[in-house]
Each structure stands twice: as structure tokens, then as C-alpha cells.
Amino acid sequence: MKRNARKRRTPLAVKAVAASAALALGGGGLLWANFYASAHESANQAGTGNRTKAASNPIVAITCPDVRQRLGTVPPAIQGEIDRELAGLDRQTTAFNQRLAAAGEEQAKDPEFIENSLIRLLQRSRTTVLQRIPVKITQAGGTAPGDLLDLARCTAVPAGQNDNGGQQDGGGQQDGGGGQQDGGGGQQDGIGGQAGNGPTAADFVDITKVRPNIRAKAADGRNASTGTFTTRCGVNANQLYNSDNVIVAPGVTNGAHHTHDYVGNQEIDAFSDNSNFLQGATSCRNKNDRSSYYWPVLRVQDGTQEFDHDKPGGGKEGNVGRILTPKQVEIKYVGNRNGKVVPMPQFLRIITGDAKTTTNGLANANANWSCTGFEDRVQLTEQYPICPRGSNVVRTFAFQSCWDGKNADSANHRSHVAFTDRNGDCANGFKAIPQLTMRLVYKVDPPTLVNGQVKNPYAVDGFPEQMHKPATDHDDFISITTGNLARKIADCVNRGRNCA
């Protein structure tokens, strides 16, 4: 679970990539083998009814609907099984995107290759899984969604449509399968990024040129819980990483398809569960706080070969470059501005933000980017800030603070918790809990923008088809406490105290 030894500052050679090892895809059981990429990748738009010359508008990703968003209630007895089926769909999409990255020759020879040999096969495999899921839910006594098969269809994403609506300026030959171009985060065919899957120049903005966008904070009500409880759990200086996600993909190695930083509980991986959460040591100063706080790592794409450069979750899925350890991590619980809070239940799971906003849209996006010295003026969701000299990059998260009063988790891992409304109130039936807030500070050398390209960009890890967009940033939390700590946190904020 801990990191492997690192090999730093070694640029990758520019070379064609051979995808010769078979990729077993979850659910559908399809198998790929022995495909080769050319040193001059090109593609054409396929499956959209508007086919163009291969070199003019290359396909940079295949994206599929997020099935988890459509699920309602799943019988608890099969929740883990359904999570594993959904993890299988993620594996399929990832594998086909890897296949796309290594398909230069096929695309050049066959203008319909992407549609016929990738998208249709992926959709067929997804259909098999989406037929199984409702049957399993029904057999377990649940009510299955009736429209899951609508989510089998996948689409190709052309270059220029992966940048929050803007058009890219193009830029250079791709190096054959998404490999490194120049060891310094150069762009490839307008795709952007060191591995050919983002970010692009359009994903960055000089924060000194952004208009202030922070609204004045609403006044607290008479019964507000105004206290704070700070827990100090370090910055992951011991470099505890894995690409699992025990919340959404329990029992599945590499279920996140990107690498996470972990602080707090030191024994969390895909195979942890309620039966052994309490056995883990903690990095928190308060040893009663054994909660797990984890988030996608931030990397600077400077050509460094990290410990995971050739591993799933890392370089094999387009997550490349030097991992940045935060210089500061602030974890704080705050109250409700209109009333008192109840303690968090043991083993409560919360995911804030959405790792798939490029697919799902921004409805669940909930990460803010800024720079020290600008946080009270500018917060960004869809762009990374370029900070001035002496200023550091800041990621902040404010978790959902309303709980349904019954469940520690839900089928889509969202509906058991919610945000307050504009007035600061929880919906009927929901109870206010202490709101977890997190602030991560990084020292980042500012990337440079030259002729529509970004050099040495930084970006969060993500699924390969999500293009390392800043809006895909997210944060994960499992409440694990001993010594009555959950009640102490609630009491602290209810009494208006500042505790640590």
C-alpha cells in the first residue's frame, strides 16, 4: 500500500507504444492483444456523423455515461457487488482509452476505425454489464432502474472539445500513443499534457487577471453553531499512496484509476471495511481521530518518472509527472449557521466533488482553486490558477453537511448526505452535522503559456478520459473515531468554541 522507491528527474524517450499485453475488461470479458502505435499519431472524428480528415480533428478520448449517477436504492446485501460491477465499467472505459492512445496506424488506415473497432465493441461490453445489474438488484428484492441500457452508448471526444468549450491552437505531432513528448509537459495535437490527455492551455488562467467572484458571507442565525474543531493529520510526508477507492470500488485494486494522497488512517485500501477500520494507526495528532482523508495527488508534468510511471493508476492511465506533497493541509470541522449539529455517525462516508465532471457536467463539482493572497477574492472551479511569484496554489473543499439520519452510505454514494440550502438549512428529514472543510496548499512553479500551449503544467490525477480538468477535483472522507471524539467535535462547534 505504501509507495515504491522513486526514480526522479528522468525524462522519457519519445517512442511508439506497443499495446501488446492483453487487457482483460471487467464484465464483458473482451480481450485485446498485440496492437501497435505509430510514431505519428493521427485520428479522425468517428461516430458523430461528421467525419473529417484524420489529421484535422484527432479523437483524444472515448467517454461513456456515469451509471452510478442513475442508481437509486440498492439492497445493502449486494451493494458491494454492484460497486464492483460499476468498477468493471470504469476498467472497460480505461482500457479502451488506452487502446485509443496506441491506435495510430489503425486510425490512419481506416477512417471508421474508432467507431467500428472501439466504440461499438465498448458499447457491446457495457450492454452486457448493464443487463446484469438490474437483474441482480431485482433478485435481491430491490427496485432496479428501468433505463440503464440507455447508458451503454459512448462517444468520441475530438481535440478542441476537451477544453471547457474553447478551441485549441493545435500544436505538434503526437508521439505515438500518448507517451511523453519533450519531457517538459509539451502539447500534442492540441490535446495538451505530458501524456497526451491534458491539461490544455485553456485550463489555466492568470489569477491576477480574474475579477473578484467571492460573495459576502451570510449572517449567522441566533441559534448558529459557530465553533470550529481542527484536527492536525500531517501532509502525507510519509508518501502513503494507492489508486484504490474503498468507498466506490470496495475490493477492487486500482478502482480509482488515479493515485490518492492519504492522511489520517494509515491502513485504508480497497480491502478495508468497517470490521477493520479501527485497527489502523493514524497520522493525526489526536489518536482518537482514525478517520480517512484522501484526495487525488497533484502533479507537475515536468518529465519526471515517478514511482508509478509504469503502473495502473499512474503512467499507464495518463497520470504522469512529479507528485507534489502539500506544504500545508488544514482539516477543520465547522458548524451550521442556523442551528446545532449532531455528531457524525461512525463510518459515515462522504465524497465531495465529482471525478467525472467532463462526462457528467458540473452539477456535483465542488472543489475550489485559488492562490494564497487571493482566496478572499477569487475562487475557481473550471480553471487552474497561475499564481504570481511568492504565492502558492490552494485547493479547498467544503463537504456536504446534512445527513439523512439513517445511512452511512448510499447506492450512488451521494444521496445519504446533502448541502444546506441557500438559507443554511437542511432539507426535511436531514440533520445538520459538523461540516468538514479542507485546505491544501502547494508550492508550484507557475506553468508558462506560449503560443497557445502550456509548458510544465500541473494537474490533479484523474480517469484518462477526464482530461485532467480542474473541475474533476474531489475529496473523500470516512469518519472513524474512538474515545467519543465525534460527540466532542459536535459539542465544540455547538458551544462556539475553537478546539484542536
Cα→Cα distances 293→246, 461, 470, Å: 12, 16, 20
Same domain, 267 and 362: yes
What's the full length of the chain, in residues?
500
- Residue 44 confidence (pLDDT) above 70: no
Residue 108: predicted pLDDT: 72
Same domain, 173 and 299: no
Cα→Cα distances 443→145, 204, 371, 495, 499, Å: 46, 16, 10, 36, 28
- Residue 69 confidence (pLDDT) above 90: no
Is residue 289 in some structural domain? Answer: yes
The pLDDT of 433-443, averaged and rounded, is 98
Same domain, 235 and 341: yes
Nearest residue to 33 (alpha-carbon basis) of 95, 93, 88: 95
User: pLDDT digit string (tens) for 264-281?
Assistant: 999 999 999 999 999 999
Same domain, 137 and 170: yes
Give φ, ψ of 116 to 5 degrees.
-80, -40
Same domain, 190 and 208: no
Residue 161: predicted pLDDT: 61
Residue 246 to residue 273: CA distance in whole angstroms: 8
Is residue 12 in some structural domain? Answer: no
Read off the C-alpha cell for 133: 445489474
The enclosing H or E element of 436 equals strand 435-442
Residue 36: predicted pLDDT: 22
Residue 20: predicted pLDDT: 28
- CA torsion sign, 115 to 120 to 126 to 130? positive
Single residue among 194, 229, 261 that ends a domain in this structure = 194
User: pLDDT digit string (tens) for 162-179?
Assistant: 544 333 332 222 333 333
| Mean pLDDT, the chain, integer | 84
* Domain that residue 436 falls in: 204-499
- Number of domains comprising the chain: 2
Residue 146: predicted pLDDT: 83
Eight-class DSSP state of 217: P
The terminus-to-terminus CA distance of the chain in angstroms comes to 29
Single residue among 173, 194, 215 that ends a domain in this structure = 194
User: pLDDT digit string (tens) for 74-125?
Assistant: 999 999 999 999 999 999 999 998 888 887 777 777 878 889 889 999 999 9
Residue 15: predicted pLDDT: 31
Torsion of CA 467, 472, 473, 476, to 10 degrees: -120
Residue 162: predicted pLDDT: 54
Share of the chain above pLDDT 70, in %: 82
Place of cell 485500501: 269
Is residue 4 in some structural domain? Answer: no
Same domain, 390 and 467: yes
